[in-house]
Amino acid sequence: MKKHTCLLSLAALVALIGCKSTARSIPPPARPPVAKQVARTDTLHGDTRTDPYYWLREKTNPEVISYLEAENAYTEAIMQPTAGLQETLYQEMLDHIKADDQTVPYRMGDYFYYSRTETEKQYSIMCRKRGSLDAREEVTLDLNELAKDQKFLSLGAYAVSPDGNLLAYSIDHTGFRESHLYLKDLRTGELLPERLGKVSEAGVAWANDNRTLFYVVEDDAKRPCRLYRHALGQPKETDALVYEEKDRRFELYPERSKSKAYLLITSSSSTTSEVRALPLDRPTASPQLVLPRKANHEYYVEHHGDLFYIRTNDRGRNFRLVAVPVANPQRKNWKEVIPHRPNVMLVGMDFFANHSVVYERENVLLKARITDLRDGQTHDLDFTEPIYAAFRDADVDFDKGNPEFDTATLRFSYQSLTTPLSVYDYDFESHERRLLKLTEVPGGYDARQYQSERLYATAADGTRIPISLVYKKDLRRDGTRPLLLYGYGAYGFSDPVDFSSSRLSLLDRGVIYAQAHIRGGGEMGKAWHDQGRMMTKRNTFTDLIAAAEHLVTEKYTSPDRLAITGLSAGGLLIGAVTNLRPDLFKVVVMKVPFVDLLNTMLDPSLPLTVTEHEEWGDPKIKAEYDYMKSYSPYDNIAAKNYPAMLVRTSLNDSQVMYWEPAKYVAKLRATKTDQHPLLLKTNLTPAGHRGQSGYYNSLREEAFDAAFILSQLGVVK
What residues are annotated to the active site? 568, 653, 689
Q: Considering only CA atoms, give the Rg of the chain.
A: 26
> Helix or strand or coil: residue 700?
helix
Tell me, what DSSP letter sits at residue 384? S
- Alpha helices, DSSP H, located in 99-245: 143-146
CA distances from 33 to 60, 216, 528, 670 (A): 19, 43, 42, 10
300 within 8 A of 266, measured Cβ to Cβ: yes
- Alpha helices, DSSP H, located in 531-611: 538-553, 569-580, 597-601
Closest CA to 647 of 689, 677, 679, 672: 679
**Distance between CA 498 and CA 459 in Å, rounded?**
25
> Helix or strand or coil: residue 67?
helix
Is the sign of the CA dihedral 683, 684, 685, 686 positive or negative? positive
- Alpha helices, DSSP H, located in 446-537: 504-507, 526-530
Phi, psi angle pair for 65, to nearest 5°? -65, -40
16 within 8 A of 31, measured Cβ to Cβ: yes
Closest CA to 296 of 308, 278, 314: 314
Phi, psi angle pair for 80, to nearest 5°? -55, -40
Tell me, what DSSP letter sits at residue 691? B
Kindly write down the DSSP assignment for every residue of 199-224, as one continuous string: --TT-EEE-TTSSEEEEEEE-TT--E
**Distance between CA 575 and CA 552 in Å, rounded?**
20
> Helix or strand or coil: residue 332?
helix
Closest CA to 231 of 199, 194, 256: 194
**Distance between CA 686 and CA 279 in Å, rounded?**
40
Going by C-beta distance under 8 Å and a sequence separation of 6 or more, which residues neighbour residue 91?
none
**Distance between CA 394 and CA 412 in Å, rounded?**
9
252 within 8 A of 224, measured Cβ to Cβ: yes
